[in-house]
Amino acid sequence: MDRKHKPSAISPAGTGPQPSVHAEQGKVVASLPTGDSVEVLLFGATVLSWKSNGRENIWVSDAAKLDGSKPVRGGVPLVFPAFGPPPKDHATGKLPQHGFARNSHWEYLGSSSSESGKLSSGGDDSVKLDFGLGTAELSEEARTAWPFDFSLVYSVTLAKDGLSTMLNVQNKGEKSFEFQMLLHTYFKIDDISKVAINGLGSTTYIDKMLNATEHQQTDPSIRIHGEVDRVYKSIKQDTTSITQDGKPRLDIVREGLSDSVVWNPWIEKAKGMGDFEPKEGYKKMVCVEVGAVDGWQKLEGGESFEGGMRCTARY
Ligand SMILES: O=P(O)(O)OC[C@H]1O[C@H](O)[C@H](O)[C@@H](O)[C@@H]1O
């Protein structure tokens, strides 16, 4: 792959404390002088941890497999090029549920930093980690099942004001292809009974718990009292926020994406997942997943697409 940055261009000499980045045992870990940090597993380019103000914002199951034997249960698995079980009559039809990105070994392309410490403008105590996946890195099985020439660059930026994760998809071939993408983020929360999700009011959603029927979100605030699996479509507001005990906890801003999935497996589904531990863990997580999953995004040869999220932890 020819996308590598110059190695570790993150510490201009003669300046104050700088972000640190190190790669170890299949992971890349970056920290800011403030102590905020992010950890990314090369398998799936899965964000495993994002800490800000001494607090973990991401939930990972105690039984999650981190050895590449299956997608990580928790963190931020990347869904591409199909969301859910792919339709059999589509070009993604032979791929596993949620596609191959979360099941593939990504390449670490390097790190970089810029001037202001803010996600919106980059910063000298912000750090961006880039990861790449292309046709050449795919397993033989995935390449046969989805025979397109593509390149993904996933950029994870840790800044004073939060974490941004952006996926760039490029069609490097001549044939067009269609895809869906989603950042399947498991946010860590204190207690699901005290959580509300705001910013999805007046939006149409598909309720996968009710035979994939279409509904309208009338209440501006969503509370979770049981298994939830909903796909909110064409959302007008850019920001979805999670509150806890009525206080802001996390803001999630969609960038170039207009759909979001809200998922909590609750008691029975958690029991049925071998890699979901502790079983009571459903009380400590909620998935709010930004993406493009309503229909398909089409890229002609040479075209590219970018989408992701900007998250801010609030206290
Ligand atoms: O078990 P997984 O393949 O990781 O999928 C976990 C969940 O992902 C999404 O949130 C889907 O909407 C759910 O239907 C699915 O159960």
Domain residue ranges of the chain, discontinuous segments joined by +: 20-313
- 153-210 tens-digit pLDDT: 999 999 999 999 999 999 999 999 999 999 999 999 999 999 999 999 999 999 999 9
For ligand 1, atom 7, the nearest C-alpha belongs to 263
Q: Which of 5, 115, 289, 306 is an active site residue?
A: 289
Whole-number Å distance, alpha carbon 126 to ligand 1 midpoint, is 32
Identify whether 90 is a catalytic site residue.
no
Cβ of 229 below 6 Å from ligand 1 = yes
Identify whether 184 is a catalytic site residue.
yes
Closest CA to 67 of 86, 35, 42: 42
- 86-101 tens-digit pLDDT: 999 999 999 999 999 9
Residues forming the annotated binding site?
A: 73, 97, 102
Q: Are 260 and 254 in contact (CB under 8 A)?
A: yes
Cβ of 276 below 6 Å from ligand 1 = no
For ligand 1, atom 13, the nearest C-alpha belongs to 229
Cβ of 208 below 6 Å from ligand 1 = yes
pTM score over 0.90: yes
- 9-24 tens-digit pLDDT: 454 444 678 899 999 8
pLDDT at residue 214 above 70? yes
**246 burial via Cβ count (<10 Å: 0-12, 13-18, 19+):** exposed
ipTM (interface pTM): 0.98
Residue-level pLDDT at 315? 75
CATH 2.70.98.10 is right for the domain spanning 20-313? yes
Q: How far is CA 140 from the centre of its chain?
A: 25
Q: Which of 60, 98, 197, 230 to mutate to test the pocket of ligand 1 (most atoms within 8 A of CB)?
A: 98
- 243-290 tens-digit pLDDT: 999 999 999 999 999 999 999 999 999 999 999 999 999 999 999 999
Q: Which of 184, 259, 260 to mutate to test the pocket of ligand 1 (most atoms within 8 A of CB)?
A: 184
